[in-house]
Chains A and B, each alone.
Chain A
Amino acid sequence: MSEEQPPAKTGSSRREFLVQSSALALWGPLVGATLTAFPAWAKKQAKNSDVISSTDVSSLPLRRMTFGPRPQDFADFAKLGRTPAQQIQKYLEKQLHPQQIPDPVLEAKLTAAKLTTLQKTYSNLWKEHVLAADQIREAQKAPAVPGTSPMTMVNENQLRLQPLNELEQATWLRMVYSERQLQEVMTHFWHNHFNVYAWEPQIAPLFVQLDQDVIRPQVFGNFRMLLEGVAKSPAMLTYLDNFLNQSGNPNENYARELFELHTLGAENYLGTESRERVPGFGHGQPVGYVDGDVYEAARCFTGWKIDSGAKSTNTGEFIYFEPWHDRFQKIVLGRHLKEYQGPLRDGHDVLDILADHPGTARFVTRKLCRRLMCDNPPEAFVKKIADVFHQQRKAPDQLAQVIRAILLSPEFAHNTQPKIKRPIEFTAGLLRSAGIDFYPSDPFLRNFEKMGQRLFQWRTPDGYPDQVQKILGANSVLERWRIVDLILVNGVEGSQWNEGDFLRRHGVELEASSASDLLLHFQQLNTKVFGQSLNVTTLQEVSEFLASAKTQKLPKAVSASLALLWMSPEAQWS
């Protein structure tokens, strides 16, 4: 294992330095140190770093509010105001009102894609993709009727999965083409926060409702409302088994993850301690939760189920089923819930208690800061934002206010820690920055299974990770290189790109034969396409590559050289 030591370097760019320091914070310390430890030498080094790429640093807010800037975004963003603060504010205010942002390119793409199931009401999805599929299954069980061919039937699972497949495609189109980028970024965030593995045939047709009716419209709304929408969504009810939860011997799967992942977080979990011994319990404000709270909360959610099955009206909607509800008194986080409360009241009370708890504010806020700012946001900053979250907990635009508090803070303005792009962000960013005419074909999407990040396919309820040490392994880097070549050099179904058009669009030509002449043009691309985030040594090597490839008359030399830009270490960071 390597010992912690300062890198031997002189005159490297600030970006390179920043990346180095974060890497050493990861790799350096062994036993006894934490990942967040910032070595003393690095602070000294930071003061000495004099080569600052101003464009690079100033575009950081734009990178965090989008799935990667498109070339024209850099200039458009700069025009928004004279100071960075003005620019962020202007951009952010626009993004916080997505309905007012025209989105013609996306709309055309969506129309062309003919994603018919996404227009259906939930009730029709249930009839046409759940009940109809059930019928097919029943029919297949029955003895074959002479003269009918089972092959003429629509495949049962295809029918169930179709809405999910279409949602996946729509989501890719939105990430790449929508002008409402922050809504898309936050939708992706909340899908991971309230993770549901949607590829189960039982869940796939229900999942569209969670996306379209619950998460997407509320990403700038109120956390408590969002939480309730998720709790009542048939997809979550199924995924965490609450649709089966009934009095007597409750199923605690949902209740546990509600505490641990959706609200208070594991950081506020005090294990099997008795509830009375948790500080603050006596005042109805325990500092954290214990297993006893999980069991009691599970009782509160008994009878929260889906209207389905032979003995029901079978609408597939969320219902409260009184006979399954445990009506006796409960104690959740130090609060007594009376026996025989009205319908849904116990569950609503639990959601209120959790959404009001300062621990929830801290946990959820830390994750938001981690997404929008850096992997390990300073605790003092998290506390400050958590206060906003807590104070605004009744506000209809609570989450918009929290996002504002993060992005308009001096801490955010001074943040220089880069974030590693996750596979989806990397690829969406590539498609956006290279200006590719794109449609998410199956061969394209299957690559994400190998990267471990196909949309809505994370198995466990914790969601895809958001910290570099959990994301960036050899396979992740390898698969990025592979997909860059697929898209830019070899072609993958659904993607159209021509390097000549790309270069012309940016007024760059790579006709020269000497590396030094080529370097000037790659530098231009670095400014226009990458916001100067690439290192000059990378550009030099790419120039050498192209010069030599031309001498050897290597096929596709130009597109292969452009691919190297996106394969560089710098291009993995946001």
Chain B
Amino acid sequence: MELTGELLVVISLRGGCDALNLLAPLRGSDRQIYEQERPNLAMPLEGPQALLPLGGPSEAQFGLHPSAGPLLELWKAKRLALIPAAGLVCDNRSHFDAQAMMDAGLVSKRSIGTGWLTRHLAIAKNVQPSLSVVSLGSLTAAALLGCESAVQVTEPKRVALTGQRKIAAAQLQALEKIYAKKNDIAGLVGRNVLGMLQTFDPDKIKDYLPPQGVEYPHNDLGNRLKTLAQLLKMGLPLRVATLEMGGWDTHKYQGVGTEGGFARQVDQLSQAVQAFDLDLRAADGLNQAPRTTIVVMTEFGRRLKENANRGSDHGHGGLMMVLGSKVKGGKLYGAWPGLQSENLYDRADLAVRTDYRQVLYEVLKPVHGWQQAAALFPDFHPAGSLGFAD
């Protein structure tokens, strides 16, 4: 396998995904506490809406959300590793602070002008100067702050000027000359756009047809992953792709079992990720599974105790997922702190036992080696190894 050609796909669940309902305790005192603190939100153990047990001796304690069937399949196929109680080792329950720190690869509120993915790309080898870094969406990803070559794509068909072909071509020639002489940020970004416009031939961009058996769900994340697949199929030399999925800030009526907003979110996430993974592996599809790793992360988990509106407020420890051919999946990694009051963070939330940077670091370790830890994550000292990527 070609280490230098890795593709890293980062999916950020914005709003604070309720990790305790995505991966919930099945038995023991954790289960008791969980049911006690979440009388209206605890996921059932039995019936058609029951949690999906992970199985296996050591993982017998946990079950996945009943709408996460596709994730369970990935788990059973040993492609998916779960890291519970992962997150930001920092006293903060603000979405925007937490997101900003994670995107910067920090655990404190300071500004260093680059995102963690920017630093990864800066030390990665053999990265093409253009069109190797993409955010699926309209705005720059904060994890790519300071990355000159990052571009965003909403729809490949829109990567073109709007007018008649002949006029647009002439305008582009003029824009090449106008932008060639400008070194302000608009000039730099404009030159990236011109690079995109050269690569994307509007005549050749057709609606993406995934291979047989791969069906992207019709939701935001599904559409964006499908667009990413389309870009890969076009032959873009992608090394990093970022995607966001909103809608996880479930302060009210989040639902239980397979009903309600949270279940819908989990269903969309699971189906979209499964479709993309299948496409990556299909010989007549993307066929790029060996070089691809997918990371799913969120800024924090939610409060153990439900609120009066059958929702949950901002918490602490979350759940991270790592998926790919290089991942030793079907296993839980990292320590589980338990839900007993004395083990909770601030006596209220699931504690963080695995620093999110440890997970990201181990994803990048095969590319950069141990010595680059500080360059990737300032002030971070790796603590041994979780081992999902060894």
Contact = CB atoms under 8 A, between A and B. Distances in A.
Given A1-B146, A2-B148, A541-B174, A256 B314 contact: yes
B112 A32 contact: yes
A537 B122 CA distance: 33
A422 to B, nearest CB: 11
Contact of A564 (B97, B164, B171, B182): B171
Contacts of A22: 184-185
A147 interface: no
B158 interface: yes
Contacts of B246: 459-460
A1 B175 contact: no
A555 B166 contact: yes
B92 A541 contact: no
Interface stretch (B186-194, B259-267, B325-333): B186-194
B252 interface: yes
A272 B94 CA distance: 11
Given A1-B122, A450-B138, A560-B167, A478 B148 contact: no
Contact of B196 (A34, A470, A474): A474
Interface in A459-499: 459-460, 462, 468-479, 481-483, 485-486, 489-490
A280 interface: no
A23 interface: yes
Interface string A547-564: 011001011110010011
Interface stretch (A241-249, A401-409, A522-530): A241-249
B111 A34 contact: yes
Contacts of A16: 182, 184
Interface in B269-285: none
Contact of B109 (A245, A266, A477, A485): A266
A555 B314 CA distance: 58
A251 interface: yes
Interface in B97-127: 97, 109, 111-114, 118-119, 121-122
B58 interface: no
Given A251-B252, A475-B152, A31 B119 contact: yes
B145 interface: yes
Contacts of B147: 1
Interface string B204-231: 0000000000000000000000000000
In the complex, which range does the number of interface residues on chain A fall in?
A: 35 or more
A478 B251 contact: no
Interface in A434-457: 449-452
Interface stretch (A125-133, A166-174, A314-322, A565-573): A565-573
Contacts of A249: 305-308
Interface string B296-327: 00000000011111010110000000000000
B140 interface: yes
In the complex, which range does the number of interface residues on chain B fall in?
A: 35 or more
Contact of B94 (A269, A459, A560): A269
B14 interface: yes
B21 interface: no
Given A460-B14, A470-B142, A560-B171, A475 B308 contact: no
B152 A563 contact: no
A253 interface: yes
B118 A473 contact: no
B309 A485 contact: no
Contacts of B313: 251-253
A249 B145 CA distance: 39
B178 A538 contact: yes
Contacts of A33: 112-113
B170 interface: yes
B389 interface: no
Given A33-B113, A478-B159, A470 B346 contact: no
B112 A545 contact: no
Contact of B170 (A246, A483, A554): A554
A30 interface: yes
A250 B307 contact: yes
B13 interface: no
Contact of A271 (B90, B140, B173): B90
Given A23-B184, A485-B168, A541-B178, A31 B112 contact: yes
A478 B193 contact: yes
A548 B154 CA distance: 33
Q: A-B pairs with the 8 shortest C-beta distances?
A: A452-B138, A271-B91, A19-B184, A249-B308, A475-B152, A569-B186, A474-B151, A23-B185
12 contacts: A23-B188, A31-B112, A31-B114, A32-B112, A251-B311, A420-B185, A475-B154, A481-B193, A482-B158, A544-B177, A560-B170, A564-B175
Given A34-B113, A478-B197, 11 more contacts: A9-B183, A27-B146, A31-B375, A241-B309, A249-B308, A251-B311, A266-B94, A269-B97, A271-B93, A469-B185, A472-B185
